[in-house]
Structures are given as C-alpha cells and as structure tokens.
Amino acid sequence: MSKTIFISVFQSFVSRNILNTGVLKELLKSGSSIVIFVVPEKLSFYKESYAQDNVIIEAFDPESFSNRIDKILRSLAEVLVNTNVIRNRMIKKFHNSGRLGSYLYHRFIIAFLGNSKVVKRIFRYIDRNLNKTDAYSDYFEKYRPDTVFAPDVFGVGDVLLFKSAAAHKVRTVGMVASWDNNTAKGLMRVIPDKLIVQNEIIKDESMNIQDVPEEIIKVVGIAHYDYYKTYKPISRKEYFRKLGLDPKKRLIMFSPAGDKFIATDWQICEILKKAYEKSEIPEDVITVVRVHPTNTVSFKDFIPDEHFIIEQPGVKFEGLGDKRKELDKEGMYHLLDSLAHTELVINVLSSIVIDAAVFDVPVVTIGFEGWEKKVPFGNSVKRYHSDENMAKLLAIGGAPIVRNERELIKEINTYLKHPQKDRDGRAKIVERQCWKLDGRAKFRIAEMVTNNG
C-alpha cells in the first residue's frame, strides 16, 4: 500500500544530505509519495531540481507562524543545555555588547537548568501543551500523510511539522542534521517517534545532552558521503583546465571560517601571500580559497595574486542572505573533484576536515588569529576549538593545530613532501565521524522513514 511522506527542507544542507544522496530515490522505490516543504523563495529551484512523479513541492514559511509564545519558548530552549558551545556563545555576546547583566542571567540558566533532565521534560510538556500551533493543518487534510520526516529536528519549520503531526496523530521521524547540532542548537523541543543520527558521538550527545531515549535512536552513517564511495572524479587534466591552470601545478585548499565566526581569515591569506613572496612555499603551488557556501568572508586588504583562486560556491536566492544559499549537485561534485586533486587542506573550524580525511588528504588546522595578539576569547579561534564538535574531532589526531605563522609554513611544506604523515589519524577521523563508510547510509535512512517498527 502506497504511503505519503512529508519532508521538511528548510535548512540549506538538507537538500545535499537527503535529496541529493539517494534517500529520496529509495523512498520513491518503496512506492511512497513525497511532499517536500520549502521556503517560498526557493520554490522554483526545488521544483526544477526535484519535482517528478510522486514528488510534490509545497511552499511554506515557518516564520509566519512564529507567535509571541513560540519566540519565548524558542529563546529559552537555546539555553537549556549546558555545553561549551552555548557558554562560549554567551561569552562572545558579552564581549561584543558589554551587557554584564544579560550575560550573568543566561549563564545562571545554563548552569542551574541546563543539566537537568527534569527541567527538559517539564519544558517539553509546557511547549507541547501551551503552544499547540497546527501550522500544517491544511496540508495534513489535503495529503493525509502516513509519516513526517524532519531532517533537521532543531529547525523552526521542523518543530512546527512535529506539532502538526501530533495534532493529527501521524508518525514522526527526525534527524540530527549535523555534527554540532546537539551542542549548539539548544534543547530539542520535540522528540520524534524515531531519531536518526550519523554516528555514535551524536547518539551519545542525544541521550546525555538532549535526554532522548536510547531505544528510539538509530545510527545510520552520513548519507552525503555515500557518493564518495562511487563518484569518479574528473581527470586531473580536465579539473585543472576548468580552473585555467597548468596540470603540473599543485593545489592546496584553504577553508576560511567566515565572518560569522572570526575576523582574521584575510590575514591568513595575507600570510600565505607573503610566504610565496619569500619563496617559503614552492612556486608551483596554488592556493584555492574555498569560501563556505553559507558563511561570507570579508577579505579586506587582501588582494589575491597569481598564487590564489577564490571560490564562492552555492546558489543564492533573491530575498535571502548567504546563510540560505544551497549547495547544488554541481557544487557537490566540484568539491569532490577538488579534494581528489588537492595536496593539502588548511582548515579553521569546518567539517571539511572529515571530507579531507575520507580522501586521505592531509589537513592543517589554524589555531591563531593572523597577526592579531589580543583577540578576546569569545571571538577567538581557541574558543571555537573548545566547542564540543571541534574539540572531539581534534582530539582524535590527524589534523594538527598550528599556533603561529612559522608552524603553518612548516606544516605545509612537511605535508607537501610527506603526504603519508598522520595517515593513521585521518583514518581514525573517518572511523569515528562517519561510523560506516559503506555507501549504504541512504538505505538505512529510507528504511527508518518507511518502516513503522
């Protein structure tokens, strides 16, 4: 018997994680009909990219249903987990605003309420009964879904979808979308019937930070790495031709953190530029600066020369900022081609470390703020490296932290000569972060969504 499944796609990388990985294809193979909800500004893009037989795209604006009560609950949920990420965020807000009273108030809530399972359960009870918004009511009446699948359980639109599912007594499946969500997104406001996670680390966080029952959690791996197993990168000659470069050149990739996090990415670029001028980096090496698809970078006084290529991937939508850009299939494949032909990745605080490790590409982690000497902790690289997701990753080994310009240049040249260095550490990163790199995560996700067990 055919089932109808609702999928919410309001977070920029859900399309990459779910729709572009084969999960959608597997759901359709099961005989299911799919209704995908997207923000109105992206409706045309999603219809062109994903609409087909048994796949309907509907526009839905979650913010239009955010009433005063919802905003209060959303704000409180943000501080009901006691994690380094949340505490560090409060420190940054204090550094930038100087509002000591607000800082002490939020730290009090985090310290005294953020560890309490009783408080979390009371909050969810209040949220469930005080704020019964049935935002998707018309769609539930129209399509009569059997299951709702929210791939970003912390998202506003996903929470609203869960609430409507409860009102209509429809089964719910949720997913923790990314490696930092349990520690960075506050309290999971609604616990679904089943929760999908990518690895054992996220499972442990779901249980101990979010108070999610172990019996509803399923570890599946990372679906967007499934195609890393089967995708065949374009040839080196073709890739370099696309970049307008001589294939005899070598590439290193710099992944800036973005202005949202730090203000000194441009200084790292300038340090690399000066290293080229002093012949401290081989002349045949080109640096590709790959800006994160949803985090802008201000390059300020940095002017790229012949040793640099700046890439700004992602599809931008009129009326939406860079945070809501999408990484389409072309952008996904270009990243894979880049990693296949890159000698080294220079990272600040991105999950690009995991991507590089899958390709066994060496990684250097920036642990300093250019030539700035007195950056407040809340605005520093050190602060982000103490966030749980990065701290756990860096503790594995395989992505050494450099603390100054001299160490950075030394590590670059060491890896260029000895790419096998830290290979065991990179393998451990893959093992712990990817769980299973067997190309079958999409099947496990689809089974969880379609299986009522």
Q: Are residues 166 and 250 in the same domain?
A: no
Same domain, 183 and 257: no
Contacts of 3 (CB under 8 A, 6+ apart): 30, 31, 32, 33, 146, 147, 450
Segment 252-264 mean pLDDT: 95
- 148 and 15 within one domain: yes
Domain presence at residue 104: no
Same domain, 217 and 239: no
Q: Look at residue 430 and tell me if it is in a domain.
A: yes
Residue 77 lies in a domain: no
pLDDT tens per residue across span 72-95: 999 999 999 999 999 999 999 998
For residue 453, the model assigns a pLDDT of: 55
- pLDDT (mean) for 228-240: 92
Residue 5 pLDDT exceeds 80: yes
Residues 240 and 190 reside in one and the same domain: no
Looking at the structure, do residues 178 and 325 belong to the same domain, yes or no? no
> If phi over 0 gives left and psi between -120 and 50 gives alpha, with beta otherwise, what is residue 246?
beta
* Structural domain includes residue 9: yes
| Helix residue ranges per DSSP H, 324-402 | 329-340, 352-358, 381-385, 388-396
Segment 293-337, tens digit of pLDDT: 888 999 988 999 999 999 998 888 877 777 778 878 888 899 999
| 305 and 325 part of one domain | yes
Beta bridge partners of 347: 255, 365
Cβ proximity of 261 and 385 under 8 Å = no
Instruction: For residue 239, give Cα distances in angstroms to 247, 254, 304, 329.
Output: 8, 18, 21, 16
| pLDDT (average), residues 18-34 | 94
Total domains in the chain come to: 2
Task: Say if 71 falls within a structural domain.
Answer: no
pLDDT of residue 62: 94
Question: Same domain for 338 and 368?
Answer: yes
CB neighbour list of residue 386: distance below 8 Å, 6 or more residues apart? 84, 88
Report pLDDT for 332: 87
pLDDT at 138 over 90: yes
With beta carbons less than 8 A apart as the criterion, state whether 114 and 209 touch.
no
pTM recorded for the entire structure: 0.94
25, 23, 5: which is closest to 14 by C-alpha? 23
Residue 289: inside a domain, yes or no?
yes
Residue 240: partners with Cβ closer than 8 Å, 6 or more residues away: 246, 247, 249, 341
Cα-Cα end-to-end distance for the chain: 16
Question: DSSP alpha helices (H): ranges in 54-180?
Answer: 68-77, 84-97, 100-113, 117-130, 137-143, 156-167
- Domain-located, residue 118: no
Pair (267, 357) in one structural domain:
yes
Smallest CA-to-CA distance from 358 within 438, 427, 442, 288 is with 427
Distance CA 108, CA 312 (A): 40
- 249 belongs to a structural domain: yes
pLDDT(452) > 70: no
Residues 200 and 267 occupy one common structural domain: no
Same domain, 217 and 347: no
Question: Are 241 and 211 members of one domain?
Answer: no
pLDDT band with cut points at 50, 70 and 90 for residue 228: confident
**In this structure, are residues 398 and 357 in contact, taking their beta carbons and an 8 Å threshold?**
yes
Mean pLDDT, residues 388-392 = 96
Q: How confident is the model at residue 1 (pLDDT cuts 50, 70, 90)?
A: low
- Domain containing 37 — which CATH number? 3.40.50.2000
Range of the domain at 164: 4-63+131-222+438-450
Question: Mean pLDDT over residues 336-358, rounded?
Answer: 96
